[in-house]
Amino acid sequence: MVAGCGTGTKESKPETSEATGGAADEKDGGTLTIALSATPKNLDPVDYTGVYEGNVIINVCDTLVKYDKSLQNIIPAIATEWSVSDDMKTYTFKLRDDVYFQKGKYQDGRKMTAEDVKYSLERSAKESAMNRLSMLDHVDVVSDTEIKAVLKAPNAAFLTALTDAGNTIVPKEEVEGWGDQFGLHLVGTGPFKLVDFIKDDSVVLERNEKYWGQKPHLDGVVFKFISDINMMANALRTGEIDVATDLVGESINVIKQSDDLVLEEVPGLVVSYVYMNMMQGPTADRKVREAIISAVDIDEMVKGIYTWGEAQRGYLPLPPGSWGYDPSLESLIPAYNPEKAKQLLTEAGYPNGFETEIHVGNKPARMKMSTIMQNYLKQNLNIDMKIQVSEWGTFSDIASKGKAPLYGMSWTWYPDPYFFLNQMFHSSQIGSLGNGQGFNNPEVDKLLDDAVTTTVDINERAALYKKALKLIVEELPQIDYAHEKVIYGLNKNVQGFVVSPDNQINLVTSEINVWKQK
């Protein structure tokens, strides 16, 4: 899942809507209308490919475990507790015994069993469109309330993978009864049940009265699709919707100017960066890479790209919302210093600059970044950088094969550093889009391997990732310039809503229960 998905810093933590009242104020009733900027195509967990679909699925279905709202810890959901074998290949889960499916066409709201967990997880391992559970070999049913998940090899990121909407628990009768239409008739065990899915218009949910967790305050939820962000902001202003998502540009200003609305933003689990080719060309020399970083005023570049503040300045190849992030390493990134940049480039043997090119996809933010960077490199280092823009397929082919001297893109995934650092810097990924620049450091490889094969303790894993991150940053492989924000607008009547760095909308969990004041 590239370009597509928590720690430490205060500002990185999810925010709860400002007007949230105390427990005594909480009220039942009402329907919450949430606008999504893209249309879900398929709600079958194994077929979904976008966050818009995932946001519906996680409110209809349950996973075995979840991230807490700070994205720091894995907490129980359908599984009440779990343990891992000494060889880290077998995870044993104890299951709740009070979980029921919503009623569907092919079953009448029966009790969920351990066989359903086995069926759902093995189905995902075999059929997931995004290989979301590829590390799973099989599941053994031990009893009605206990299963063992057996992995192909040790992988401490397994629990994180289980939090994904693609790995939710569904009933076999409904899946096989509906066939390829199951995505239009999703049934799960979650806090809301699917009432209607009107393609290209809306998804309607209503409260699941037999939900095993805390009773949802809301009577129902409507996910409405509004692709034009300005129209979405206006719909929020007029009261047509309660929550506007994915806000950018002038729509942000519309929300800020209204006394009846609240604008909430958190840094997303996203890193936007420029890779520099470490296998060939001038950028294979660390001095050249340092010169390029020093020649670009990154603060000003970020302001120029995100004119409405849609991103925060980035420093490291890991988002602040990941529990592997280490803010102390930010100081290792060279500051803007044109004189030093010129000196470094001269020492590297390029006193008069050189010609190069940057490859980017056809996204406005990437093209704007390229133009700004092009000006800095010409002005400060006499580097002539041509900008090559192409559609995603062509871009990813060139970049992954190490053919691009420089290339700009973004990366997003789970809070677990594995999904960033192992994919972007392990030498085994050279030749893939994750490590198309050719980063190769055996010491980093070992630390990254140890972080998923020697321990499942999150603190021990974080320590290993921070060591690897320091070694990576010291090589200055890329310019990590921004973390794009997750920006929502809410009516002040909406209470308890959490805007999360992973852009997931959870309306009812053990920590969250959204309600409306009126």
DSSP states of 229-298: HHHHHHHHHHTS-SEE-S--THHHHHHHT-TTEEEEEEE-SEEEEEEE-SSSSGGGSHHHHHHHHHHS-H
Instruction: Please give the average per-residue pLDDT across 32-55, as a whole number.
Output: 89
pLDDT of residue 13 exceeding 70, the answer is no
Encoded amino acid at 412, one letter = T
Tokens 């229960």 map to which residue?
A: 513
Rg (CA), the chain: 24
Q: Name the band, by pLDDT with cuts 50, 70 and 90, for residue 12.
A: very low
Burial of 28-57, coded b for 16+ CB within 10 Å and e otherwise, reads eebebbbbbbebbebbbbbbbeebbbbbbb
Instruction: Please give the average per-residue pLDDT across 288-296, as a whole number.
Output: 98
What is the SS3 assignment for 92?
strand
Identify the pLDDT of residue 363: 81
Identify the pLDDT of residue 14: 44
Q: Name the band, by pLDDT with cuts 50, 70 and 90, for residue 147.
A: very high
- Tell me the average pLDDT of the chain: 92
Please say whether the beta carbons of 336 and 297 come within 8 A.
yes
Compute the distance between CA of residue 143 and CA of residue 117 in angstroms, rounded to an integer.
Answer: 12
Compute the distance between CA of residue 71 and CA of residue 273 in angstroms, rounded to an integer.
Answer: 23
Q: Nearest CA to 269 among 458, 427, 460, 70? A: 70
Identify the pLDDT of residue 39: 83
Instruction: Give this prediction's pTM.
Output: 0.86
Identify the pLDDT of residue 438: 96
Tokens of 242: 């309660």
Encoded amino acid at 393, one letter = G
Identify the pLDDT of residue 71: 87
pLDDT tens column, 84-141: 999 999 999 999 999 999 999 999 999 999 999 999 999 999 998 777 898 999 999 9
pLDDT of residue 279 exceeding 60, the answer is yes
Compute the distance between CA of residue 173 and CA of residue 378 in angstroms, rounded to an integer.
Answer: 63
Helix 286-295 vs helix 364-381: angle between axes, to the nearest 10 degrees? 100
Identify the pLDDT of residue 498: 95
Identify the pLDDT of residue 20: 40
pLDDT of residue 465 exceeding 60, the answer is yes
Sign of CA dihedral 150, 153, 159, 161: negative
pLDDT tens column, 408-443: 999 988 889 998 999 899 999 998 888 999 999 999
Identify the pLDDT of residue 19: 39
Identify the pLDDT of residue 375: 98
How, if at all, do strands 220-225 and 202-207 pair? Answer: antiparallel
Q: Name the band, by pLDDT with cuts 50, 70 and 90, for residue 7.
A: very low
pLDDT of residue 6 exceeding 80, the answer is no
Identify the pLDDT of residue 51: 82
Identify the pLDDT of residue 453: 93
Q: What are phi and psi of 52, to 5 degrees?
A: -65, -40
Identify the pLDDT of residue 243: 98
Residue 179, Ramachandran bin (φ over 0: left; ψ between -120 and 50: alpha; else beta):
left
- Using CB atoms within 10 A of its CB, is residue 83 exposed (0-12), middle (13-18) or buried (19+)? exposed
Q: Nearest CA to 71 among 486, 491, 449? A: 486
Identify the pLDDT of residue 213: 97
Compute the distance between CA of residue 338 and CA of residue 36 in angstroms, rounded to an integer.
Answer: 43
pLDDT tens column, 180-228: 999 999 999 999 999 999 988 999 999 999 999 999 999 999 999 998 9
